[in-house]
Amino acid sequence: MLYGVLSTAAIAVLLVLGSDAILGFLNIPADQRGLLVAVLLVVLLSVTLAAIIMGMFRGQKNHSLAASVSVAPSVLRLFFIIGAVYLFGITDFHFILWIFALPPLFVLLGTLIWKWGSIAASLRSVVIPGKEIFLFGFSAFIINSWMTLSQHVNRIVISHDLGIVWQGYFDVSLTVAAIITFFTSALYFVSIPESTGIQDRSALFTREGGLGDVGRILLAMTLFFLIVIYFYGQPLIYLLFSADYAPAGDYLFIISAGYALLFVQQYLAYSSISLSSDTPVTFLLISTVSIITFPFISHGMILLFGFGGAYMASAVAIAVYTAFTIYSMHDRTPLRALIARIDRLVLACIGAIAVIAVFGLPLLSGTVLGGGVFSLLVVGLRYLDSENLLYAVGWRKSD
């Protein structure tokens, strides 16, 4: 937390001193720059400290609390927006912007009050990490931040190349595609804490309810919601936003498919850096180089393909990133565990696609029917064992 406060303060100073140049580069109107800097500072501090506290909870293997702290700002923001816009009819841009900015701060303050004893106890000693643990921790951080950092970069490139309106469309696409990124985030809460320091790698992935079952469950859910986005991307945008944001749905499936592939990369990377002491440096280099080169790829593809190029750049970068991750793995056990019985999962996906396409139902009923067929096929074809599935989601205790 001390490091987080100091680094946040340094970034805040640079942001304030260079605000005109930075926001001018992003084509932000001059009359809104002061407000945006204030909002950014609040979000920067609250998100930084909340992420550090979540790291402590994950280290204690308190996955449910870490997940709650992670998703609480989004849920709180949704309630705030519903209350402000639909109940009180507030449409002022400045007020709504603060609604988007304050939930992380509220969650941070609530967590500090609720868990201050545990947090304070962890601050009683400050130890500079050794080389090995520093590389491990920083590698895990970069891998986890890859998606966020790359999309922030993409936003900057879009705003500079096409304008702030097109960045808004892209943000809408990312909001809908976040249905898929939820499963990648859930994976992060489990994979590293459960696999770090394990001696029996085989048991880690093969025991019931272990990382093999968890990975396959999350992969199945990821692919099902990718199917939902393929059929109902535009209806989702109309429902959550309005028809005015229709351009956000034109290339939504591209970024969603990239996120589905990124799930595979994250699963392999998290497991690999936890199981082997000599892989963090490799994954750190791969992740860092891909983030640095991403803006050039995005800029070039936007020049070639317009707005769709930003989506294509993300998908291409994720594909290359995943390929290099697989190539760099010393132990392919996580990959074998994840793709076990993959042919049965493909058949389940085909069944769900066929049902949704044939009946042509609207969003809600189509998702429910497709989800029901998909679930039956996943269990019926024994891609997932029903007993292990219940164990993995916590509905059955181990023997």
pLDDT tens profile 30-79 = 777 777 888 888 888 888 888 888 777 777 777 677 777 777 787 777 77
- pTM, rounded to two decimals: 0.74
Q: Please give the Cα distance from 152 to 276 (Å, whole number).
A: 30
Predicted confidence at residue 294, as pLDDT, reads 92
Q: Which two tokens stand for residue 228?
A: 């939902």
Find out whether 183 and 261 touch, Cβ atoms under 8 Å. Answer: no
Mean pLDDT of 350-379: 92
Amino acid letter, 50: A
Amino acid letter, 274: S
Q: Which of 62, 185, 190, 74 is nearest to 122 (CA)?
A: 62
Find out whether 65 and 57 touch, Cβ atoms under 8 Å. Answer: yes
- CB contact burial 313-350 (16+ within 10 A = b; e otherwise): bbbbbbeebbebbeeebeeebbbebbebeeebbeebbe
Predicted confidence at residue 344, as pLDDT, reads 94
Specify the 3-state DSSP secondary structure of 52.
Answer: helix
Predicted confidence at residue 285, as pLDDT, reads 87
Predicted confidence at residue 22, as pLDDT, reads 79
Predicted confidence at residue 272, as pLDDT, reads 80
- Tokens 């308190």 belong to which residue? 62
Mean pLDDT of 8-36: 79
Q: Please give the Cα distance from 398 to 155 (Å, whole number).
A: 46
Q: How crowded is the C-beta side of 158, counted as CA atoms within 13 Å?
A: 24
394 pLDDT exceeds 60?
Answer: no
Amino acid letter, 265: Q
Predicted confidence at residue 397, as pLDDT, reads 52
Predicted confidence at residue 399, as pLDDT, reads 47
Predicted confidence at residue 99, as pLDDT, reads 78
Predicted confidence at residue 390, as pLDDT, reads 61
Weakest-pLDDT range from 267-276, 305-314, 327-336: 267-276
- Tokens 């024994």 belong to which residue? 382
Mean pLDDT of 83-106: 76
Weakest-pLDDT range from 55-59, 225-229, 249-253: 55-59
Q: In terms of C-beta density within 10 A (0-12 exposed, 13-18 middle, 19 or more buried), how is residue 283 classed?
A: buried
Amino acid letter, 289: V
DSSP letters of 226-257? HHHHHHHHHHHHHHHT-GGGGGGGTTHHHHHH
Amino acid letter, 168: G
- Domain map of the chain by residue range? 1-127, 131-341
Percent over 90 (pLDDT), the chain: 24
| Greatest mean pLDDT among 56-70, 276-290, 348-362 | 348-362
Predicted confidence at residue 373, as pLDDT, reads 94
314 pLDDT exceeds 70?
Answer: yes
Q: Please give the Cα distance from 325 to 283 (Å, whole number).
A: 7
Predicted confidence at residue 196, as pLDDT, reads 61
Q: Please give the Cα distance from 99 to 103 (Å, whole number).
A: 7
Weakest-pLDDT range from 41-50, 217-226, 255-264: 41-50
Alpha helices in 241-332 (DSSP H): 252-275, 280-305, 307-328
